[in-house]
């Protein structure tokens, strides 16, 4: 059964690999590569320790775009805006890819 179309519409299967940190990191890395390609940085090194602001040079509008990508991919189970709303400004500026991965994994496992 092809679930790729369903995934793009935010309907994830109940496959437990969806909550695997390595899988989530790969998903988020792909989303970030798409964003960075728009900025002319397709070869940026993306690791769990990469910061969105300092390392990847993403602006707040880029985080809005990332939030939409996360919602499209994972559905309502992952709420990036709610996650960021609980952070202080310096925490948002220092937010890492790994922290987002951990949030997504936790959200998927709780769903």
User: Please, are residues 111 and 101 in contact by the beta-carbon 8 Å criterion?
Assistant: no
Q: Which CATH architecture has domain 18-110?
A: Orthogonal Bundle (1.10)
User: Which conformational region is residue 87 in: left (phi greater than 0), alpha (psi within -120 to 50 degrees), or beta?
Assistant: beta
Residue 4 has pLDDT above 80, yes or no: no
Global pTM?
0.82
Question: Over the stretch 7-54, which tens digit does the pLDDT of each residue have?
Answer: 433 444 445 567 899 999 999 999 999 999 988 887 889 999 999 999
């Amino acid at each position: 059964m092809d679930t790729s179309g369903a995934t793009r519409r935010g309907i994830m299967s109940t496959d437990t690999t969806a909550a695997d940190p390595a899988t989530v990191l790969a998903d988020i890395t792909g989303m970030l590569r798409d964003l960075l390609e728009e900025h002319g940085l397709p070869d940026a090194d993306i690791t769990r320790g990469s910061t969105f602001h300092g390392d990847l040079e993403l602006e707040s509008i880029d985080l809005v775009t990332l939030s939409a990508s996360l919602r499209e991919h994972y559905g309502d189970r992952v709420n990036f805006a709610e996650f960021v709303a609980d952070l202080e400004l310096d925490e948002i500026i220092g937010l890492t890819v790994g922290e987002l991965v951990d949030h997504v994994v936790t959200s998927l496992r709780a769903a």
